[in-house]
Amino acid sequence: MTTPLLVQALAALSVPALAGATVLGLRGRRARAGAAAGAQRLRGRIAELEERCAELERTASCDPLTGVWNYRHLQLTLDREIERARRAEHTEQADGPRPLAVLMLAITGFDAVVAEHGRGRAGAVLRDLAQRLAMEIRRADTLGRYGGEEFLVVLPDTGAEGAAQVAERLVWSVRRHLLLDWSSGQRESRPAAGNGLTAAAGIAVLPEDGTHAAVLLRAADAALAAARAAGGDCWRLSAQPAGELDRPREDRPGQGARTAGHGAEADRDPSGKTGSLSACVGRDPLAQPVATHTPATAAGHRDVLS
């Protein structure tokens, strides 16, 4: 076969091969484009599922009425912080567990709010107050609804003195918080004696009051009962000698209590500091920032509202 004939034969045979290669190339590009589009859709779907998962986790951990953390999240947080505090005992830098305080806060006076405004509006008042309390703690702290009108605050790396300052601030905030007003006219001025709501707080500290969540909560609840027995609007430490509870409130060192009287005098303690609830601290919690607790936003069961 001569050379021109051989070239013609090879050219004739290469046409189908080139056509096949072109078709395969087009199919490959289409396959790659389809795979890229599928990967993009898959990434979008994964992002959507992650967003929904985060929303479900947030919903599962937040109290629907107040918007703060719920009882389940409080349990998990307390267990985690106790374990973290106890691990420090076995490190070279620490000679004992890291301090951890638990503060139980009970608000009274919501029966009157429910009677006057109904449960729906009273729930809005409780939510507004809970959000206000969440601003009085550090970002590292955890405030949640423990049950009804009771709240629990977990305070990592905080001893009895720091927890007492936080309790004083929270009790003062409950008494002086400006409640929601649904009137269409001019807002009435805040009553001199407060808003009708008061709070009692009980404090338990690790390791003095226990190294287990149930023990700490029981100690905080006992301290809360002592604060309620003292008339409320005060706080109590769990590790207090029994004889101290029999002394008049104004004579007890280290325990917050309001003095007798009305108006401005009701907000003064024996030290003469307006807004201070205890002679042991002797400072206005809002006029002077607490050294170990700077305000920050945070993100149960016996209840007259739910």
Q: What pLDDT score was predicted for residue 167?
A: 95
Q: What pLDDT score was predicted for residue 66?
A: 92
Secondary structure element (H or E) that encloses residue 165, with its range: helix 160-176
Structure confidence by residue, pLDDT tens digits, 64-85 = 999 999 999 999 999 999 999 8
Q: What pLDDT score was predicted for residue 91?
A: 66
DSSP state of 245: G
Cβ atoms of 249 and 277 within 8 Å: the answer is no
* CA diameter of the chain: 126
For residue 209, the tally of other CB atoms under 10 A from its CB is 22
Residue 226 has pLDDT above 60, yes or no: yes
Q: What pLDDT score was predicted for residue 183?
A: 56
**Please, is 263 exposed, middle or buried when counting C-beta atoms within 10 Å of its C-beta (0-12, 13-18, 19+)?**
exposed
128/178 Cα distance (integer angstroms): 10
Cβ atoms of 87 and 147 within 8 Å: the answer is no
Average pLDDT (96-122) is 88
> What global pTM score does this model have?
0.64
Q: What pLDDT score was predicted for residue 171?
A: 94
Average pLDDT (217-244) is 83
What does pLDDT average to over the chain? Answer: 75
Cβ atoms of 262 and 275 within 8 Å: the answer is no
pLDDT band per the 50, 70, 90 thresholds, residue 191: low
Residue 286 has pLDDT above 80, yes or no: no
Structure-token match 């929601």, residue found:
180
Q: What pLDDT score was predicted for residue 110?
A: 87
99/80 Cα distance (integer angstroms): 14
Q: What pLDDT score was predicted for residue 100?
A: 93
Cβ atoms of 232 and 199 within 8 Å: the answer is yes
200/226 Cα distance (integer angstroms): 9
Average pLDDT (162-181) is 90
pLDDT over 70 percentage in the chain = 67
Between 189 and 55, the higher pLDDT residue:
55
Residue 244 has pLDDT above 60, yes or no: no
DSSP state of 256: B
Between 303 and 26, the higher pLDDT residue:
26
110/198 Cα distance (integer angstroms): 9
Q: Which two tokens stand for residue 58?
A: 């947030």
pLDDT band per the 50, 70, 90 thresholds, residue 15: low
Residue count of the chain: 306
97/288 Cα distance (integer angstroms): 30
pLDDT band per the 50, 70, 90 thresholds, residue 113: confident
Structure confidence by residue, pLDDT tens digits, 116-136 = 888 888 899 999 999 999 999
203/105 Cα distance (integer angstroms): 9
Average pLDDT (130-151) is 93
Q: What pLDDT score was predicted for residue 25?
A: 82
SS3 call for 181: coil
